[in-house]
Amino acid sequence: MTRICVIGLGYIGLPTSALFANEGYEVVGVDVNEKVVQRINEGVIHIEEPGLDEMVEKAVASGRLTASTEPTEADYFIIAVPTPIYEDKTANLDYVVQATKNLLPKLQKGNTVIVESTIPPRTISDVVAPIVREHGFNPDENDVYLAHCPERVIPGNIVYELKHNHRIVGGYTSEAAEQAAKIYENSVDGDVRKTDAVVAEMSKLMENTFRDVNIALANELSKIADDLTIDASKVIEMANMHPRVNILQPGPGVGGHCIPVDPYFIIEKAQESSPLMQTARRINDSMPQFVLDKINKLTEGIDSPKIALLGLTYKGNTSDMRESPALDIIKLLEEKAPGVEFKCHDPYVELEDHSFEHQLYTLEDALADADLAVVLADHQEFKEVMASTFTDNMKTPTILDTRNVYGESFFGVTVHSLTNLVNV
């Protein structure tokens, strides 16, 4: 039976392990976090993702998925560890390097090493291949196969997308692409497209950069419309009647693990030739300040205004707060608006999540006596809230809705957005 060792059991590695195990492969998932390993061996998951619990439970119960803190011998090694950026916005490849070095003692001729982590162009050839070569292998001669197979699932729909999305398999050599593609061809319903490693690396980065640039355009429209007192929501609606135009909705900023990070992997390698990408990053990073300006205008003249921040995650229906613009807005409120008292509510964020140092309130407690509610994530729960929850609890039932959760008329609640004319 083909054995797969998946290194890193987070949002990508855990579902990937379960997918392959449920397709009949013998999978060992490896993580440096002992608690994660222990929980997975009990068939319990440590991340919030619809449908993932059943998928992992099934894989563990079948005996084909086990977890360990150390890599084991395998035919395929899949690396799915974090690739964050440093303060100076360059890629931190330490986790990828460490994971590659850790698997070396188990690596044998004929094995395949696939990096699923998002990586800057030429990481397979300039970082991974030299490590493997130093250990005595020759990936140029295909005694081991190296490949990059980027992941493009969206949190919240990972279980479906993992199975159905098209996959790109970029080989360090064409033989490596063939070899790596086999396990995906056997397991996913989408097309599996083979190419070389650098094309795979760059195409993944361009996907998220495409999205970043388009979001920046919508955000810039929001600012321009504000300056020129034009209703941006109507502009977007009218412009999108054009068959080849799709302007996105503005928002409070871009969060998550990918879109605000991945463009920098290109920018660091091509400073001179990436002005559009750099500008898009700046525009999207400026949105929390734009939201703060709106909060200040909406609370002008109020002594010690009280606001409720609803939704701390970077998007709706997830517990993921990584790079969330809500955290930047909180920081700006603390630094630049010390007179504003704020209370936070998020139905997805657990109180025991120590990465968030502020107190969390129930929706009613956060809204109690508030002058303004600021909606920062479009959670389903917020869409289902009755207007009376705002009118009954708030001092002045006013919402700054940065995610277009509520329509302009909401039964006695005044709703401002980043697109409509708010007279502020």
Contact set with ligand NAD (CB under 6 A): 7-13, 30-33, 36, 80-83, 95, 98-99, 102, 117-118, 151-153, 155, 257-258
Residue of 5, 258, 306, 343 with catalytic role:
258
Q: Which is nearer to ligand NAD, 13 or 311 (CB)?
A: 13
Neighbours of 396 (CB within 10 A): 18
Q: State the minimum distance, in angstroms, from the CB of residue 31 to ligand NAD.
A: 4
CA distance 329 to 325: 6
- Taking a C-beta distance cutoff of 8 angstroms, is the pair 344, 330 a contact? yes
Residue 8 CB, shortest distance to ligand NAD, in Å, is 3
Nearest to 288 by CA among 309, 319, 266: 309
Nearer to ligand NAD, 170 or 305 (CB): 170
Residue 85 has which token pair?
């950026």
Nearer CB in complex with ligand NAD: 10/43:
10
Per-residue CA distances from 271 to 89, 202, 203, 263 (Å): 12, 15, 18, 11
Cβ nearer to ligand NAD, comparing 207 with 293: 207
Bridge partners of residue 30, in order along the sequence:
7, 68
State both tokens at 344: 């936070």
In whole angstroms, the minimum distance from the beta carbon of 97 to ligand NAD comes to 9
Separation between Cα atoms, residue 418 and residue 329, nearest integer Å: 15
Complex with ligand NAD: residue 32 or 368, whichever CB lies closer? 32
Residue 61: both structure tokens together = 């119960």
CA distance 379 to 276: 31
State the Cα angle at 321 between 318 and 322, rounded to 5°.
Answer: 120
Residue nearest to ligand NAD (CB): 10
Nearest to ligand NAD of 183, 399 (CB atom): 183
Does the annotation count 258 as an active-site position? yes
β-strand pairing of 145-148 with 167-171: antiparallel
Closest C-alpha to 236, from 210, 215, 257, 205: 215
Closest distance between ligand NAD and the C-beta of residue 32, in Å?
4
Shortest Å, Cβ 251 to ligand NAD: 18
196 Cβ neighbours under 8 A, 6+ residues apart: 170, 171, 172, 174, 177
Residue 3, strand partner residues:
26
Name the DSSP class of 173. Answer: S
Measured from the CB atom, is 86 or 411 closer to ligand NAD?
Answer: 86
Q: Beta-strand (E) ranges in 21-165?
A: 26-30, 65-68, 76-79, 112-115, 145-148
Please confirm, yes or no, whether 223 is among the known catalytic residues: no
Minimum distance between the CB of residue 98 and ligand NAD, rounded to whole angstroms? 4
Q: Tell me the C-alpha to C-alpha distance, in Å, between residue 356 and each of 50, 311, 323, 331, 349.
A: 23, 13, 12, 12, 9
- Supply the minimum distance, in Å, between the C-beta of residue 363 and ligand NAD: 27
**Active-site entry in 5, 149, 194, 204:** 204
Residues annotated as catalytic (active site), given as ranges: 204, 258
